[in-house]
Every structure is written in structure tokens, then in C-alpha cells.
Amino acid sequence: MLSPRLYHFLDERHGRYETLTHDRTVTAAATAHAAHVGTQQFAKTVMLKVDGELAMLVMPAAYRVDLHRLSAALGGSHVELAHEHEFQDRFPDCEVGAMPPFGNLYGMPVYVDSRLASQHEIAFNAGSHTDVVRMPYAEFERLAEPKTLWVTHVM
């Protein structure tokens, strides 16, 4: 089931998307495989702290974030991975680790890696470990209003 907040947001803004259901998974690569989506098109959400504030980075499942590159892209900000206990309460309508890549729904900035931005279509967790949303990247960009950066490297 889609996170209620995400569902209402997409519905109110007439978002174009489809939902996919799959067997329970916990990693982005496994979810991409279960949903029959390539790891280049599957958007994983990485939770960060940028100068002590929570932020969301959305990137292809096939890549890893380069924190040094991200810091430089953000003008030298201090960037670190957030620990689960630091953000789990921010997503009360989602299973931990399955939050959708819409930080704007949860009061935090959203950054997206340019490799994901070059995809025609993306898919991402929809608030549970069994549901995925697929939509055109342009639609995601319209709705999430992310800042695009080049901050990943191949796994």
C-alpha cells in the first residue's frame, strides 16, 4: 500500500504514475529485481545530514553516494549519512527504509543525482517494502522539485 501522504500528494497534483507490488525486499537492488526494474532506473533514497539537518538524496540503485563530491557540490557543507534512529520518526506513514523520495512531503530538501535525472522513467519505494511507484522522471521532477547534482560512483 502506498504511503497515505504520498497517495494524497500524487492524487491532489494529478500525478501520472503506476503502482507495482512485489515480494518483500529490503535493499534497493533486490527491490529493483523483484519489481522488474533496472538498477539504473530504480531510485533509492539515502538519508543524509547536511550541516546537521536531515536531507534526502535520490540516486540510482546501481550507484553509491560519494560524500566528498556531495559536500563539494553543496558548497563545502558538512555531509554525513544519517542513522536510522535520526530519521525514522520523520516518516510515520512509512516502513523504515521504504520512504518515497519526496522529502518535500516531510519537510526536508531533496537532492537527486544527475544519473537518475537522465532516465526517462524511474521507480521507487512507496512507503512499504512491497510497493513501488513507477513514473516518468519529468513527473517526479515536477512533483518533488529536487536539486540535481552529480554525486555518485559505480558500486
Per-residue model confidence as pLDDT tens digits over 126-141:
999 999 999 999 999 9
How far apart CA 67 and CA 151 sit, in angstroms, is 7
- The grid coordinates listed for 133 are 511507484
At residue 40, the pLDDT reads: 94
At residue 72, the pLDDT reads: 93
The parts of the chain modelled with pLDDT lower than 50 are none
At residue 150, the pLDDT reads: 81
Beta bridge partners of 152: 65
Whether 9 and 128 have beta carbons less than 8 Å apart is answered as no
Kindly list the structural domains of the chain, giving each domain's residue range(s) and its CATH number in brackets, ordered by start. 4-154 (3.90.960.10)
Whether 57 and 28 have beta carbons less than 8 Å apart is answered as no
Whether 45 and 110 have beta carbons less than 8 Å apart is answered as no
Whether 39 and 60 have beta carbons less than 8 Å apart is answered as yes
Listed residue (52, 61, 65, 42) closest to 111, CA to CA: 65
Query: To which residue does cell 519537510 refer?
Result: 107
The pTM score is 0.93
At residue 2, the pLDDT reads: 84
How far apart CA 101 and CA 43 sit, in angstroms, is 8
How far apart CA 4 and CA 66 sit, in angstroms, is 32
3-state DSSP call for residue 28?
helix
